[in-house]
Amino acid sequence: MGKVLVLYDSASGNTAKMATLVAEGAGSIPDVEIRLRKVDEATADDVLWCDGLALGSPTNMGLLSWKMKRFWDETMAPHWMKVDGKIGCAFSSSGGWGGGTELACQSLLTVLMNFGFLVFGVTDYATKLTTAHYGAITAREPREEGTQAACRLLGKRLAEWVAVFCDGRKDQHPLNKSDARLGPG
Ligand SMILES: Cc1cc2nc3c(=O)[nH]c(=O)nc-3n(C[C@H](O)[C@H](O)[C@H](O)COP(=O)(O)O)c2cc1C
């Protein structure tokens, strides 16, 4: 059974709400086990356990938070070169649109790439005007239908890739499924 970890930092609860939605989306794919962990409680074993990781952080100066950086600097550093080939994606909440949310996603993906993760974006549109091409993003909490849908879609796609690439379940490949997929409309 494929294993998905949703690992996040959150100081005031906004990224935590996104994390719950990402986990919910991952849970829409059958036979995938899901763990939701806040960075303060997470251990290296959580990361070693998973096949796929959705990594979330509040946008801090356009980057991942210091706590999330410390987790990879200190907790995960001894495991560098031991987690190659896991699948990764990112999500972030910022104070406002244009505040660097996608830059923060890129910084999360950069960390994952350094550890050998295979990182991805989502081509589909979650709603007519919302995508998660570089990860799921929100300003503050995910209040709108579009930002909520983007979080769920990110988690769903992660679980699909885990099913396909880690469990050999080709039927879960998005191109082989009859689920409606939205492009720019
Ligand atoms: C130290 C610090 C740096 C921040 N930097 C940014 C930033 O660069 N851009 C932005 O839009 N918001 C910034 N914010 C606001 C947070 O990203 C925003 O409030 C976010 O929703 C917090 O998520 P959380 O509730 O998960 O902690 C910053 C907040 C803090 C505390």
The yes/no answer on whether domain 2-176 falls in CATH 3.40.50.300 is no
Please state, in angstroms and rounded to a whole number, the distance separating the CA atoms of residues 28 and 42.
23
Per-residue pLDDT, 46: 98
Ligand 1 close to Cβ of residue 38 (< 6 A): no
For 42-76, the DSSP string reads: --HHHHHH-SEEEEEEE-BTTB--HHHHHIIIIIS
Which residue stretches of the chain are H helix?
A: 14-26, 44-49, 66-70, 101-114, 145-167
The atom number, within ligand 1, closest to the CA of 63 reads 8
The atom number, within ligand 1, closest to the CA of 138 reads 21
pTM of the predicted structure, to 2 decimals: 0.98
Residues of the chain with pLDDT under 70: none
Ligand 1 close to Cβ of residue 138 (< 6 A): no
Nearest to 23 by CA among 158, 173, 168, 114: 158
The atom number, within ligand 1, closest to the CA of 99 reads 11
Give the Å distance between the CA of 86 and the centre of ligand 1. 28
Ligand 1 close to Cβ of residue 95 (< 6 A): yes
Per-residue pLDDT, 185: 74
**Biggest CA pair distance of the chain:** 46
Give the Å distance between the CA of 95 and the centre of ligand 1. 5
Ligand 1 close to Cβ of residue 60 (< 6 A): yes
Provide the residue ranges of all domains of the chain, joining segments of one domain with +: 2-176
Which pairing describes strands 125-127 and 130-131: parallel, antiparallel, or unpaired?
Answer: antiparallel
Ligand 1 close to Cβ of residue 143 (< 6 A): no
The atom number, within ligand 1, closest to the CA of 104 reads 8
